[in-house]
Amino acid sequence: MEAKEVKRLMRNEVKHHLSKEDPEDLALKTSKIHNILFEQPEWKRAGNVGITLSVGREIDTYEILARGLEENKQMAAPKCDPDKKTLIFYHITSLEQLEDSFYGLKEPDLLKCKKVNEDDLDFLLVPGIVYSDKGYRIGYGGGYYDRFLSGNPSLYTCSLAYEIQLRDNLPTEEHDIAVKSIITEKRFIRP
């Protein structure tokens, strides 16, 4: 089977698994993950953080946004260009600067936000559905983050995941770029 097909199956399997989990259980795990994140030296040092706005069973990032703003960090969220499959980050200081976008996503409203210089980001939270302890990940299949990271190779990257999202032997393709760290409710993984 081709890597693409295996990725599709694994994505669906983990999504299904997540949909069966008890929301209260997940919320407890989320708070453990947040606490580990906020203790991380890279987070503490970061002045300019890129995050997505979580939807559905993704690990909550709204609390991360709030915490970052409290800690006087510049927080930035991406706007997708669905044709080119690229991401452009914009500074956000309030939820009022967000609007509903395609695919059920919340994205910055360009009329209300300033564009971020990619080189200024120093900490990027990378979303995904399935992860390996080598730092490889499977996302929604847009290739948005692989493309973004290939242009920003030295950026510090971190993914948040429940243990049940980890799998051994993820298929990898030439373009896949591993994240530098993964935080689960049980551990800090630095591949």
Ligand X SMILES: Nc1ncnc2c1ncn2[C@@H]1O[C@H](COP(=O)(O)OP(=O)(O)OP(=O)(O)O)[C@@H](O)[C@H]1O
Ligand Y SMILES: Nc1nc2c(c(=O)[nH]1)N(C=O)[C@@H](CNc1ccc(C(=O)N[C@@H](CCC(=O)O)C(=O)O)cc1)CN2
Report the site for ligand Y in 42-61 (rule: CB under 6 A): 52-55, 58
Are 107 and 127 in contact, with CB atoms under 8 Å apart? no
CB of 4 to ligand X, least distance (A): 6
Are 49 and 121 in contact, with CB atoms under 8 Å apart? yes
Residue 53 in marked binding region: yes
Residue 7 in marked binding region: yes
- For the chain, what is the largest distance between any 2 Cα atoms, rounded to a whole number of angstroms? 48
Q: How far apart are CA 19 and CA 39, in angstroms?
A: 29
Residue 171 engages ligand X in binding (rule: CB under 6 A): no
Are 30 and 3 in contact, with CB atoms under 8 Å apart? no
Report the site for ligand Y in 136-175 (rule: CB under 6 A): 139-142, 144-145
Residue 141 in marked binding region: yes
Strand partners of residue 98: 108
Site size for ligand Y, by CB under 6 A? 16
Residue with smallest beta-carbon separation from ligand Y: 142
Residue 146 engages ligand X in binding (rule: CB under 6 A): yes
Report the site for ligand Y in 99-138 (rule: CB under 6 A): 103, 105, 127
For 150, the token pair is 């290939």
Residue 143 in marked binding region: yes
Are 175 and 181 in contact, with CB atoms under 8 Å apart? no
Residues annotated within a binding site for ATP: 7-11, 137-145
Residues contributing to the annotated binding site: 7-11, 53, 58, 137-145
